[in-house]
Structure 1
Amino acid sequence: MNLPVPLVTVGLLIASNLFMTVAWYGHLKFKAAPLITVILVSWGIAFFEYVLQVPANRIGYGHFSAAQLKTIQEVISLSVFVLFSWAYLGEKLTWNVALGFAFICLGAFLIFQNFGGSGH
């Protein structure tokens, strides 16, 4: 079964960002845990992020430019983070964060446009 490159790339990037968000921010609820412990646990979790992100980039490159791959990753990363901070950390999504995210998405949209310049 051959899945479309964009589907595989985005799916792997979503999964990798789930691991990375937990690695970077999951420990914030465990302030009593020793720093060295959370660092080592975070490294262990982040390993799986790399196991997923490296193939995502390798599979996606060629179909997407490097700039497009990075843009996809950043939009996914911010989306996962907003959901994580709301659901896990209990933070509210404020209007200024939502507006900032909307501007980032506008920038992402522009990266995928070809305004008569170079093709991707």
Structure 2
Amino acid sequence: MSTILLLVLSNLFMTTAWYWHIRGGAQAIEARPLVVVIAISWGIALFEYCLAVPANRIGTLNGWTAGQLKVAQEAIALIIFGGFMVLVLKEPLHWRHFAAFACIMAAVAFLFSGK
């Protein structure tokens, strides 16, 4: 359970680091100097690494394979991004987002089946 919790928290930071600066439309984006955006994003991403690395170590010590860790991380990332997209970026979810999520969840099921 700690692996999943750490991956959720790390994805919250990474999604924020990658996408916070594109909210507000073209004028808002252009008003933010790229070097400043990069520096802020790297600072946010530091927290992501401080959570993702232990998550992967704990998961491995609990019998997860690298493939299972990666696919679980991708599934979590998709959930986090969906929420971020709606709540922060104010973009709607469409059927294709749910279809993509279903494909990722199928990948999770395949990698964890028989374990």
Could you tell me the TM-score, scaled by structure 1's length? 0.87
Q: What is the deviation of 1:106?
A: 1.1
- Is 2:19 the partner of 1:16? no
Residues 15 and 80, structure 2, Cα contact 8 Å, conserved in 1: yes
Deviations 1:12-37 (A, max 9, x none): 11000000000000111241110000
Q: What is the deviation of 1:62?
A: 3.4
- Is 2:37 the partner of 1:43? no
- Is 2:88 the partner of 1:88? yes
What is the letter of the counterpart of residue 35 of structure 1?
L
Deviations 1:56-105 (A, max 9, x none): 11111032111111111111111100110011001111011211211111
Give the equivalent residue in structure 2 for 1:59: 58
How many pairs align? 109
Q: What is the deviation of 1:108?
A: 1.2
Give the equivalent residue in structure 1 for 2:76: 76
- Give the aligned CA root-mean-square deviation in angstroms: 1.0
Q: Which runs of 5+ in 1 are unaligned?
A: 1-6, 115-119
Could you tell me the TM-score, scaled by structure 2's length? 0.90
What is the letter of the counterpart of residue 71 of structure 1?
V
Q: Greater share of helix residues, 1 or 2?
A: 2
Q: What is the deviation of 1:55?
A: 0.5
What is the letter of the counterpart of residue 49 of structure 2?
Y
Identity across matched positions, percent = 48
* Whole-angstrom CA distance in 1 between matches of 2:19 and 2:98: 20
* Whole-angstrom CA distance in 2 between matches of 1:47 and 1:41: 10
